[in-house]
Each structure stands twice: as C-alpha cells, then as structure tokens.
Amino acid sequence: MTAGTLTEEVFDGGGRIAVRRPFAAGATRSFGANHVHRVRSEGPVDAISIHAYSPPNRPMRHYAATARGWSPRLAGAPEAAVR
C-alpha cells in the first residue's frame, strides 16, 4: 500500500467471506496461489496499491462463486469478478 486504505475480503472455497481486514499505507501482504480475495478502497481518499506477481507475466485471475465453489473467469474481465 502506498496511499489510502484498502479493505481485503478473503473468500473460502464456497465463495463466502471468511476474513475481512483493512490495510493502510505502508502495509504489505503476501499469499499463495490458492488465495482468493477482493480488495477495495473504502476510505475518504483513493487507495493506491502495488501488486507484484510471481512467476512474472502471469495474468491476474478472476473468479465467480458457484454452488460447487470457484469458477475461473477469463483474465482481463473484471465485470466477471466476484461481487
């Protein structure tokens, strides 16, 4: 986080929010490949965050919650992201 505050919502395998936590400027976060989350700016100023992915050039993935768990969506389709 470089500015503002983000709220992270971490989802369980069934698409339900399991954890909700804020991150302020200066905070860092790391997680593994199976981590499904949503972040949003909810503070009085816009939040700015930097996301670094490894391995390099791997596209951001979007998912939708279904009755059987997570369903992958096409990369670059944020309208298909979890709501």
Q: Is 23 helix (H, G, I), strand (E, B) or coil?
A: strand
Closest CA to 48 of 40, 60, 36: 40
For residues 21 and 19, give the distance between their C-alpha atoms in angstroms, rounded to a whole number: 7
Total domains present in the chain: 1
Per-residue pLDDT at 80: 42
> 17-52: per-residue pLDDT in tens?
899 999 988 998 888 777 888 888 988 889 998 888
Rounded-to-10 torsion of CA 23, 24, 27, 31: 20
Instruction: Enter the tokens of residue 25.
Output: 């400027």
End-to-end CA distance of the chain: 22
- Cis amide leading into 44 (omega within 30): no
Q: Tell me which residue range forms the domain holding 15.
A: 5-80
pLDDT at residue 60, rounded to an integer: 73
Interval 73-77 mean pLDDT: 57
